[in-house]
Structure 1
Amino acid sequence: MSRTTQNAAPTRHIELGLRQNLAQFVLLVTVNALVGGMLGQERTVVPLLGERVFGLRGYTAGLTFILVFGLAKAATNYFAGTWSDRFGRKPVLVVGWLVAVPVPLLLIWAPSWAWVVAANVLLGISQGLTWSTTVIMKIDLVGPARRGLAMGLNEAAGYGAVAATALATGYLADTYGLRPAPFLLGIAFAALGLGLSTLAVRETREHARLEAAGHVARADGKHDHLHSDLSNGEVFLQTSFKEPALSAASQAGLVNNLNDGLAWGLFPILFSAAGLSVAKIGVLAALYPAVWGVGQLFTGALSDRVGRKWLIASGMWLQALALGVIATVDSFAAWAVAAVLLGAGTAMVYPTLLASIGDVAHPAWRARSVGIYRLWRDGGFAAGALLAGIVADALGVRAAVWTVAALTAASGLVVAARMYETHHRPGSVEPKGAVDG
């Protein structure tokens, strides 16, 4: 099937599909790995900086860097989707990398905790622009049939890099100190990410327009109310509250990152209090996102075969179990097993939620819906930092872990009760052809 749009731009052949867009897809996977590396530089070291360098004693105060990161990233996610539709995906990606450049420098030179907080505002803005845009661009390229696989590869690259960088920074900090060595990696990641995004990444907005032109509604009528011309406010309401699958995914994403905020901010403190070395803390900080990252290579594709709903619900329940184990045990080996379980549960959930948003949202406003979902999901970082800090200050770190475990289990119940199976495709061929791009 061939479709064209009329404008003055030169014609470029555009097709949907992973194989047809493999070079750009691999490039975007590489870029997202660098995005993940920018986040991973903080996972082991920054909580220890707060405790050992800046003398922070209250858990709530120590988690302020995650709170501001979550708020900045959540808000930016929303605008990333809107701006990607208005200005194109590539300009938003490049701006995101420009914002990332000062982050490792601020962490290296920070004379006070306020500098670390400021760096995390910039990191949140950068992550919201870069990660959101790479997600949108991959969804644009592959079309509907391989969406779960695409999201699995995207998130595996990002969180695999989080894990590798958390491990590397742990060893660098153990050998050379908490600063500056661990953050030199961030300088390299920012330079590479900006260069690749500026010089090699190509715009994908026309791929979304091609899919929209050939969009076929579900035969069961579930999406009849989701027209192509929804306003920004209508897209927000559908994604957040009204549409059962979209809203169930949004709350699950929020709770998932709520427990990730807990893991990021309090697990290194919990492990340090048990007498573990910085190197061992780095191993545990890396193990959870490593399993999460590698697991998504399989779970994203699995959701294309078995569906989204029960993979998401089961993943939330497995995360809750893992958090309960972490709150109970007190040894490196037991924590390592729990970190593996937590990573596996997150791998079941993370790419599948994104794929479900792509399943339901119309291509004409899908970028905005992804941005709104990611607003809620990454708002979980802020909610997790605030909740975990308050509970930990009042009742201790383990009580905070138990609280988040209970919320995670409840979120799985919401998915089981409210979400329908979203991976339902009509028997049609993916649209492909030539358009003016």
Structure 2
Amino acid sequence: MTTAKPLRLGLRANLAQFSLLVAVNALVGGMVGQEQTVLPLLAEREFHLVGYTFLLTYVFAFGVTKAATNYFAGTWSDRFGRKPVLIAGWLIALPVPLMLIWAPNWGWVIAANVLLGVNQGLTWSTTVIMKIDLVGPRQRGTAMGFNEAAGYGAVAVTAALAGYLAARYGLRPAPFLLGLSYAALGLGVSVFFVRETREHARLEAASHATSTVSGRAHTHAELSNRQVFARTSVSEPALSSASQAGLVNNLNFGLSWGLFPLLFATTGMSVGHVGVLVALYPAVWGAGQLVTGALSDRWGRKHLITAGMLTQAGALALLASVDTFTWWTIATMLLGVGTAMVYPTLLATIGDVAHPSWRARAVGVYRLWRDSGYAVGALVGGIVADVWGLRSAIWAAAAISVASGLVVAYRMYETHPATARQQTREESTS
């Protein structure tokens, strides 16, 4: 008879399970990557859609359902455990590639993206929560860097591979067979190898006492769902600043998903070259998070987020101003750098401030607002592009990104415990 090993927090103590969850999240990201290059071109060439707003309905459907599902994923993870929610997300993913392959009209594509949004909300939220559970408070930024790097690295690789397959074998079915294999593999790994992590969160919660971050006391009492929603959305400065920055970040990503391939195609470049440009943004974003997540554990969160939002704004302005493959390469890579500075750092901020007893729900609320950005980007980008053109839509996103960065600079306080304590000591001795 063997005795169970005692639970421990930390990346090294849970390396095997953490690494497995990184691989699972790569499969989650690949489900999005299968669409990135292909669907905008499919809309124009096979379904003959006109009007950017109508074309972006699939991004809107994806964003709304993913945002709403994120909220429920956090609540259900606290109630039922992380693993059941993860498995449910993969079951919902299975029909998505088949619907895209067989879609006789655009309504099928929208329906597939509704299911994809539910899949992403359940699976991605849960892998985030599980990694935060495992690593504890010291290495949240590093953990989120690995998580998001795997997910968006897979988006990039799959987008490029889907573009290659589309150029060689046609827009359907070859690119979407990638997604079908990802869904089957993700389900199998989650059922047979992933372990529940809710007890790790309870272990961390048991060790918590009332703490102070940057001079601010944080209550650890059990909160209702309404209280968690209010704090993360509006009343708590760091949580709500992170939520709005996340929304704007994904507004930019939603815009890139729907409009960038069409902008690049206006020059007559091949589908393969469009696929390379589309993949560069999440590729740099994904790889960069391996660095920026760890940096946020050393340098703190606030300034990295502010600089990242302003970098995104500059990249979007450049992208809207140029029209060659070389300059678009530079602009999309710069956009990836700015996003890498922001993405894992925002999640780490939520983990810093939210107590383990309500952290999963706070992550769910944050991801609700963040992924609402897909829908907002589809609406704003589609309407502005229809009225004033593709480049005007990108300029609008640049202006919104500047405003978001200024909100973070003004309203957010530093949340990383070590950095916040150092700042408090410096302020007390000055």
Indicate whether the TM-score tops 0.5.
Answer: yes
SS in 1 for 2:180: helix
1:204 aligned to which of 197, 207, 215: 197
RMSD: 1.4
The amino acid of 1:100's aligned partner reads A
2:53 aligned to which of 36, 60, 72: 60
Inter-partner Cα distance in structure 2 for 1:55 and 1:102: 24
SS in 1 for 2:9: coil
SS in 2 for 1:363: coil
1:303-340 deviation per Cα after TM superposition (whole angstroms, max 9, x unaligned): 00000000000000000000000100000110000011
Q: Which residue in the other structure is 1:286 paired with?
A: 279
**Residue pairs, 1:75-154, within 5 angstroms:** 75-154=68-147
Inter-partner Cα distance in structure 2 for 1:25 and 1:229: 27
**Residue pairs, 1:235-384, within 5 angstroms:** 235-384=228-377
SS in 2 for 1:224: strand
2:63 aligned to which of 58, 65, 70: 70
Inter-partner Cα distance in structure 1 for 2:219 and 2:102: 50
- Is 1:186 the counterpart of 2:179? The answer is yes
- Assess if the C-alpha contact under 8 Å between 2:141 and 2:297 holds in 1: yes
The amino acid of 2:356's aligned partner reads P
- Assess if the C-alpha contact under 8 Å between 1:327 and 1:399 holds in 2: yes
SS in 2 for 1:20: coil
Change (3 A) 1:177 1:245: same
Change (3 A) 1:225 1:304: closer
Q: Which residue in the other structure is 1:22 paired with?
A: 15
Inter-partner Cα distance in structure 2 for 1:376 and 1:395: 27
1:412 aligned to which of 405, 411, 419: 405
SS in 1 for 2:6: strand
Inter-partner Cα distance in structure 2 for 1:147 and 1:426: 14
- Is 1:224 the counterpart of 2:217? The answer is yes
Inter-partner Cα distance in structure 1 for 2:365 and 2:343: 15
Q: Which residue in the other structure is 1:163 paired with?
A: 156
- Assess if the C-alpha contact under 8 Å between 1:216 and 1:426 holds in 2: no
- In the TM superposition, what is the alpha-carbon distance from 1:224 to its structure 2 partner? 2.7
The amino acid of 1:118's aligned partner reads A
The amino acid of 1:424's aligned partner reads P
1:223-269 deviation per Cα after TM superposition (whole angstroms, max 9, x unaligned): 53533311100000000000000000000000000010000000000
1:122-165 deviation per Cα after TM superposition (whole angstroms, max 9, x unaligned): 00000000000000000000000010000000000000000000
- In the TM superposition, what is the alpha-carbon distance from 1:220 to its structure 2 partner? 5.6
- Is 1:214 the counterpart of 2:207? The answer is yes
- In the TM superposition, what is the alpha-carbon distance from 1:271 to its structure 2 partner? 0.6
- Assess if the C-alpha contact under 8 Å between 1:150 and 1:300 holds in 2: yes
1:349-374 deviation per Cα after TM superposition (whole angstroms, max 9, x unaligned): 00000000000001100000000000
Inter-partner Cα distance in structure 2 for 1:37 and 1:288: 15
Inter-partner Cα distance in structure 1 for 2:172 and 2:198: 41
- Assess if the C-alpha contact under 8 Å between 2:214 and 2:420 holds in 1: no
Inter-partner Cα distance in structure 2 for 1:153 and 1:76: 23
Change (3 A) 1:102 1:420: same
The amino acid of 2:34's aligned partner reads Q
2:32 aligned to which of 27, 35, 39: 39
The amino acid of 2:98's aligned partner reads L
Change (3 A) 1:279 1:365: same
Give the unaligned 5+ runs of structure 1: 1-9, 429-437
- In the TM superposition, what is the alpha-carbon distance from 1:218 to its structure 2 partner? 3.0
Inter-partner Cα distance in structure 2 for 1:293 and 1:341: 13
The amino acid of 1:242's aligned partner reads S
Inter-partner Cα distance in structure 1 for 2:64 and 2:209: 36
- In the TM superposition, what is the alpha-carbon distance from 1:13 to its structure 2 partner? 1.7
| TM-score, normalization by structure 1 | 0.94
- Is 1:397 the counterpart of 2:390? The answer is yes
Give the structure, 1 or 2, with the largest relative contact order (CA under 8 Å, sep 6 or more): 1
Inter-partner Cα distance in structure 2 for 1:190 and 1:270: 31
Number of corresponding residues: 419
Inter-partner Cα distance in structure 2 for 1:217 and 1:406: 40
- Assess if the C-alpha contact under 8 Å between 1:317 and 1:412 holds in 2: yes
Give the unaligned 5+ runs of structure 2: 422-430
- In the TM superposition, what is the alpha-carbon distance from 1:217 to its structure 2 partner? 3.3
- In the TM superposition, what is the alpha-carbon distance from 1:216 to its structure 2 partner? 3.5
